Amino acid sequence: MTWLPTVRQLEYVVAVAETGGFGRAAQRTAVSQPALSKQIKEVEAGLGLPLFERGPRGATPTPAGELLVVRARRVLAELQELGDEASALRDPFAGIVRLGAIPTLAPYVLPGLVHAVRAELPRLELRLIEEQTDVLGERLREGSMDLAIVALPYAQKGVRVLGLYEEPFYLVTPPEHPLASGPPVLPADAAKAGPLLLRHGHCLRGHALAACGLAPSADSPLEASSLSTLLLMVEQGLGPTLVPEMALPRETGRVAVRPFAAPVPSRGVGLWWRPSSPRSPLFERLGELLVRFRP
């Protein structure tokens, strides 16, 4: 009979691959490092192949290890969905939801959603994750997350997309900037002003470039890793930037906020989840709450 690893052993293998070390993997899985190392060695012995290259700086998957990690994630995701199906049959609006959100949405939409869930879905527990869009998509596909709040449009395979609402952009400028007053701003004028942008990896960067009619490869004179930093740069007179509407009350300080001329550029706000998830009715309900309690 073919030797097979246990579910727990698969969790250990994935943990080592994701953390890059046996000690960190042991902490994540709440087991001692010697016990985890023993289980990894048992898997390697059972398969007859080394799974990790051990070194003073950590552990790196071998080709066999990379293959097993891919399959282990798939198996663990299927088992998670099996548990979700059982939970959904007992009570579709109870249990744990591992919910992700991008950094340019999380601070604005999550507080209202958490309050709404506590009031209207008290048997539901949200576990929150803040990551960039590509990371959220990867975590959804591998099964380590259930649901993601994202900005649309964004091309992503292997997810179900539920659009919730459109959110307009505003141009935020230093008070003395030429665009700080006058008629509504034209996208071409915003493009000529050289808008400050978030770093690569933030989907808001792409949406801002599209709103100004600029190519996705366009450069920015200065870049930031967060909206807060971007707006501090505007306050210091370094240039204008584009800001989504929900961020205006919280983030804007000593700056001028300018509307765009119609048609006003915007981004969509929506949800992603795996098409195979049995919890679609719950996720749709959470989408309704996000719309009702939008900033």
Q: Give residue 57's pLDDT.
A: 84
Type of residue found at 201: G
pLDDT band for 88, please (50, 70, 90 cuts): low
If one counts every other C-beta atom within 10 angstroms of the C-beta of residue 212, the result is 25
**Is the pLDDT assigned to residue 46 strictly greater than 70?**
yes
d(CA 188, CA 186): 5
Helix, strand, coil share (%) of the chain residues, nearest 5: 45, 20, 35
**Is the pLDDT assigned to residue 43 strictly greater than 90?**
yes
Residue 295, exposed/middle/buried by CB under 10 A (0-12, 13-18, 19+)?
A: middle
Least confident of 41-50, 124-133, 199-208, 216-225: 216-225
Name the average pLDDT for the chain: 90
Q: Give residue 86's pLDDT.
A: 73
| pTM of the full structure | 0.74
Domains and CATH numbers, the chain: 7-74 (1.10.10.10), 91-164+268-292 (3.40.190.10), 169-266 (3.40.190.10)
Residue 72 in 3-state DSSP?
A: helix
Is residue 40 within 8 A of residue 5, CB to CB? The reply is no
Q: Cα torsion at 156, 157, 159, 161 (round to 10°)?
A: 50
**Is the pLDDT assigned to residue 58 strictly greater than 90?**
no
d(CA 249, CA 252): 6
pLDDT band for 212, please (50, 70, 90 cuts): confident
Q: What is the pLDDT averaged over residues 213-224?
A: 77
